[in-house]
Structure 1
Amino acid sequence: MKIKTQLLDLCNLHVNKRIKDYKNEIDLIKESIESNDKVSNEQDDSGNSKLLDDLEKNMNYLGDAQKNKDYLQLIRPNLVSEQVVLGSIVKTDSLSFFIAISIGKIEIETQDYYIISLQSPIGQHVKSKSKGHQFEFNSKRYTITEVL
């Protein structure tokens, strides 16, 4: 299915960009720590402490992004299921969703899609549902019109 492949490709691009950005940020922080070590005295460790905190945060973000990349590898664009599963396109009477990772709204061929994860609040509402099922989210009622 062409649209699923396009959506999956966008997800992979998004994750790969995040991984690249976090790796670049980690490299910059490491360089800053090394240059601070060369010129700093023992009484001024507060700068390195902040940098080490930033390094740890970025390492965690990188780990999360790599987990998302691995998770995307589980999606099979050609899989057809009547129930909502990972990789499904869920069309409702007002919105369309792609079940993958949490990215948000994107547009492909003049159609808006919300890329969400099964673990997200709305993902939990649509999980294992099929055409004709209704669910309520943020005080709005949706009817699933199609699961691709």
Structure 2
Amino acid sequence: MPLKTQLHAACQAYVQQRIEACQHAMQAAQESANSETKSSAGDKYETGRAMAQNERDRNAVQLQQAKQLQGELDRIQSEKPCDTVRPGALVHTSMGRFYISISAGKVSVEGLDYFAVSAAAPVAAALSGKRAGEQALFNGKPVQIQGIE
């Protein structure tokens, strides 16, 4: 399997894990709210239900964000070759290897570490549009682009 395809699959697994975690947390919060029973301290009942609802709402927002990441990832054509730094590019630089896709952090494939970063990330923005052999400035330091796949 091509390297970019493996990196793309790792990013998809990351997003899927986030979606499942949010769904599980939402379900747990809903079950917690449903299990609250009225007691002689009525305020405690209402507070418990409100806290569970707030937790469910917070997880719903995180779920929506994870689904947006999934949408961004779905729009990237990882199999398409790149000659400039853009979404879907695998960029080898003097400061590391970057897969321009979504912010998924460090991804290890075949014993090597890569950083999955979104196109909006500062390092990706600094490299955007550049070609192999060119140089960019990131945090005031020169970064040499050694190759792009």
Q: TM-score by structure 2 length?
A: 0.91
- Deviation for aligned residue 1:139: 4.0
1:39 aligns with 38
Contact 2:82 2:88 in 1 (8 A): no
SS in 2 for 1:39: coil
**d(CA) in 2 for partners of 1:146, 1:53:** 47
Q: CA RMSD in A?
A: 1.6
2:20 aligns with 20
Residue deviations 1:83-123, cap 9 Å, x none? 11111001112311001110111221222111100011112
2:69 aligns with 68
Residue identity matched to 1:32: S
- Deviation for aligned residue 1:136: 2.4
Query: Which runs of 5 or more residues in structure 1 are unaligned?
Result: none
Residue identity matched to 1:20: E
Query: Which runs of 5 or more residues in structure 2 are unaligned?
Result: none
1:108 aligns with 109
User: In the comparison of the two structures, how many residue pairs are matched?
Assistant: 147
SS in 2 for 1:80: coil
1:97 aligns with 98
Structure 1 outlier segments of 4+, above 3 Å: 38-42
1:117 aligns with 118
SS in 1 for 2:86: coil
Contact 2:15 2:70 in 1 (8 A): yes
1:126 aligns with 127
SS in 1 for 2:43: coil
**d(CA) in 2 for partners of 1:133, 1:46:** 59
Residue deviations 1:41-68, cap 9 Å, x none? 5322222222222111100000000111
Q: TM-score by structure 1 length?
A: 0.91
- Deviation for aligned residue 1:76: 1.2
Moved more, 126-135 or 19-28: 126-135
SS in 2 for 1:34: helix
Residue identity matched to 1:137: F
**d(CA) in 1 for partners of 2:143, 2:110:** 23
Residue identity matched to 1:121: P
- Deviation for aligned residue 1:142: 0.8
SS in 2 for 1:130: coil
